[in-house]
Amino acid sequence: MARIRAPFPVKLFIGVLTAHQELLESVLETLTGRYGPTDHQSGIIPFNFTDYYESEMGSPLVKKLWSFGRLIEPDRLAEIKKETNSIEDMFAADSDTARPVNLDPGYVTPAKVVLATAKDFPHRIYLGEGVYAEVTLTYESKEWHSHRWTYADYKQDSYREFFSKIRTILLGQLKDNSPES
């Protein structure tokens, strides 16, 4: 029988999708105020995979990813998704655009990238409070692998490079915090 154990802490990341690059600094300030300093960020990544968001967000859309230095417990993901939805609402209240920012929280473990969402599909697991999670990428044989449900942007090399870097940071943090250290 397998013994129930607490999971290892995980690496929080948040992606922001926006047509308003001038908001990125304010978004980052809000997020770091809540989740602490970042330890890695992507460049500005053009988001041209779908026009699904353009009617409420504008165009051209770009994405930016940040990872946070403080590790979190994985069971906080639902709470963080609800918080990021509230942050989206805060930015919308001060904008002429219906949805000036879209925040996508998730976490990285040594073996996977997990995204939070409010939408249910057969491959998603309910976390509670209206929030679901999906394993978006898995790490095997020294590389990230996508799934048939993985969003097109998460299949890009720029995303895989970002997640490889924060996976390396995470492994160092876990080693530094291990009982044997």
Would residue 152 count as lying in a domain?
A: yes
CATH number at residue 106: 3.30.70
Would residue 155 count as lying in a domain?
A: yes
**H/E stretch holding 9:** none
d(CA 92, CA 118): 18
Would residue 127 count as lying in a domain?
A: yes
- What average pLDDT does the structure give for the chain? 95
What is the count of structural domains for the chain?
Answer: 1
Would residue 4 count as lying in a domain?
A: no
Cα distance between the two ends of the chain? 29
Running DSSP on this structure, what letter comes out for residue 6? P
Would residue 181 count as lying in a domain?
A: no
Would residue 112 count as lying in a domain?
A: yes
Model pLDDT for residues 12-22, shown as the tens digit of each residue? 999 999 999 99
Would residue 3 count as lying in a domain?
A: no
d(CA 133, CA 91): 24
| DSSP reduced 3-state for 130 | coil
The domain of 142 spans 10-174
pLDDT surpasses 80 at 180: no
Model pLDDT for residues 84-101, shown as the tens digit of each residue? 999 999 999 999 999 999
Would residue 28 count as lying in a domain?
A: yes
CB 65 within 8 A of CB 163: no
Rounded to an integer, the average pLDDT of 22-48 is 97
| DSSP per position, 61-91 | EEEEEEEEEEEE-GGGHHHHHHHHHHHHHHH
